[in-house]
Amino acid sequence: MRRSYVWLGLVIILFACVCALTFTDHITGFDQNVIAAVQGWETPGLTRLMEGFSWIGSTIGATLISAVAFLFLAFVLGHRKELIFFVAVVGGSALLNKVLKNTFHRERPNLHRLVEETGYSFPSGHSMAAFALYGALIYLLWRHVRSGAGKIVLVVIGSLLILCIGLSRIYLGVHYPSDVIGGYLASSVWLGLMIEFFRKWNQRLIK
């Protein structure tokens, strides 16, 4: 059995566990403690920074960044097949988020909101979009970075963006930490599935 399938299975189990804990209220204490800790950092400067990260993960921000990435992959790196993979990961993650939100119907936290947001809370759409977008870019750009240090920088930058976008949603009071964790897990499952399909598709084309 491929390691990737084992990894996917474990992530699916983790996501199921988060769902179970969330909707049986066994994660309430964790959520409240993390929210209190993160919102305890509040300063005017940090709020502006977090609003910026939140915008990057918003529909408009993610769409603009995706468009720039699409053009870069197409015309600078000359990718073709990879564009289908990229669109499938980003677009599919957004669709999956809508399905999950309408399935679970979790209301947003109402403790200390710094911005207003509508819609359901679980899983976090910003977190799912960030993981899908930057996870896909890390995967596609990996083979173009020759040095080990460059690969580390690529992963660190992408990971920090994913982390900060998720953290911003907790800081701004519009998501529970479990929403963000659930979003990361759901999107990582989708990204993993798309990577496996993409690999198999490439192997068939080579044959």
pLDDT of residue 180: 97
- The CB density around residue 161, as the number of other CB atoms within 10 Å, is 19
Range of the domain at 189: 3-206
> What phi and psi values does residue 105 have, to the nearest 5 degrees?
55, 40
What letter represents residue 73's amino acid? Answer: L
Q: For residue 59, give both structure tokens.
A: 């529909």
| Polymer length in residues for the chain | 207
With a CB cutoff of 8 Å and minimum separation 6, the contacts of 162 are: 127, 130, 131, 134, 135, 184
Query: Quick one: pLDDT at residue 12?
Result: 92
DSSP single-letter state for residue 106: P
pTM here is 0.90
Task: Give alpha helix (H) positions in the chain.
Answer: 3-23, 28-39, 44-56, 59-71, 81-104, 125-141, 148-171, 177-206
- Supply the pLDDT for residue 7: 83
pLDDT of residue 206: 58
pLDDT string in tens for the chain (207-residue length): 466 778 888 899 999 999 999 988 899 999 999 999 999 999 999 999 999 999 999 989 999 999 998 888 888 777 677 888 999 999 999 999 999 999 999 999 987 888 888 889 999 999 999 999 999 999 998 888 888 899 999 999 999 999 999 999 999 999 999 999 999 999 999 999 999 888 887 777 655
pLDDT at 42: 92
CB 39 within 8 A of CB 50: no
CA–CA separation, 77 and 71 (whole Å): 9
Report how many domains make up the chain.
1
Query: What is the model's pLDDT at position 203?
Result: 72
Dist. CA 88–CA 195, nearest whole Å = 10
